[in-house]
Amino acid sequence: MAEAAITTYGLSKRYQKARHFALRDLELNIKPGEIYGFLGPNGAGKTTTIRLLMNFIVPTRGQARILGLDTLTQSVQVKDKVGYLAGEVELYPKMNGRQLLAYLSDLRPPPISGYVNVLCRRFKVELNQRISSLSRGNRQKLGIVQAFMNHPEVLILDEPTAGLDPLMQEEFFDLVRETKERGATIFLSSHNLTEVQKVCDRVGIIRAGRLIKEQDIGDIVASSVQVFNIAFAKPVPEAQLRTIAGLKLILNSQHHATIKVRGDLRPLFRVLAKHQVRALDRQESDLEEEFLKFYRGQS
């Protein structure tokens, strides 16, 4: 069995003068080639975890390993294999993008010449403009380029799509998928559930410094509530629909209903097959409600 890409053993952090642990006994085991979404509300411990993995802060107890290397004692070797994007991308304001990337390339030369330019073109990065005059989105694009330009084996990304417009978000998700295809592991923290749903294989949910649930994204989607807006040619077959277990029916008009159903969709479609359906619109699977339950502590 291949060695895990990221593992943590009882990783905990209590900041100086803090009464409570920001992160407590985190146990992670992320497989090579996996995209792992780390979800939680603000202040849950996502950034603390990432800063521990990057050895920016020292654990109070526990240990983390990336590609088998200890993040504390073998930090330099770890960073030779890791790409990192901070939640708030902070770059040298007086430099332009070209100078910044040259500096970072001096610290870690990219293995494939020309790849930096490919990424810059792809994300339409402003290379000749001073960083201080760039918008947040443009700074974020520069941050993405510097994180990916070394073809890292592991990527640690903190809220990576913050500030990106929808087109650039899609470009970013494509890049993440391509990066996974070449075998890299991606650890992605977010509180944006839709983006996690788009790219992640598995998610971990953190609340108040504790990992409270880990699940494959497919399982979550399968067990989540799905919402359909249906227009019938004749009156809504209310009685038949109400016989379906786990179904919630909202009558919008005599011919139009919103249906929320959890799990297996076959009973719903059996009923629909017996009626003339004029239009059926499936709303994007709403993971938000699922996660909010965890966030609120209702799990």
Q: Which residues bind other proteins (CB under 8 A)?
A: 15-16, 47, 51, 54-58, 75-77, 79-80, 82, 84, 86, 88, 90-95, 103-104, 106-108, 146
Per DSSP, the three-state class of 187 is strand
**Which run of H or of E encompasses 262?**
strand 256-262
Closer Cβ to other proteins, 108 or 262, answer by number: 108
CB of 78 to other proteins, least distance (A): 8
Closer Cβ to other proteins, 19 or 266, answer by number: 19
Closer Cβ to other proteins, 76 or 239, answer by number: 76
> How many C-beta atoms lie closer than 10 Å to residue 55's C-beta?
19
**Which run of H or of E encompasses 260?**
strand 256-262
Closer Cβ to other proteins, 106 or 181, answer by number: 106
Residue 54 DSSP label: T
233: exposed, middle or buried (Cβ count in 10 Å: 0-12, 13-18, 19+): exposed
CB of 92 to other proteins, least distance (A): 6
Query: Tokens 């040619």 sit at which residue?
Result: 233
Q: Which residues of 129-163 are buried (b: 16+ CB within 10 A; e: fewer)?
A: eebeebeeebbbbbbbbbbbbbebbbbbbbbbbbb
CB of 221 to other proteins, least distance (A): 33
CB of 191 to other proteins, least distance (A): 18
CB of 47 to other proteins, least distance (A): 8
Closer Cβ to other proteins, 155 or 227, answer by number: 155
Per DSSP, the three-state class of 286 is coil
265, two tokens: 């969709």
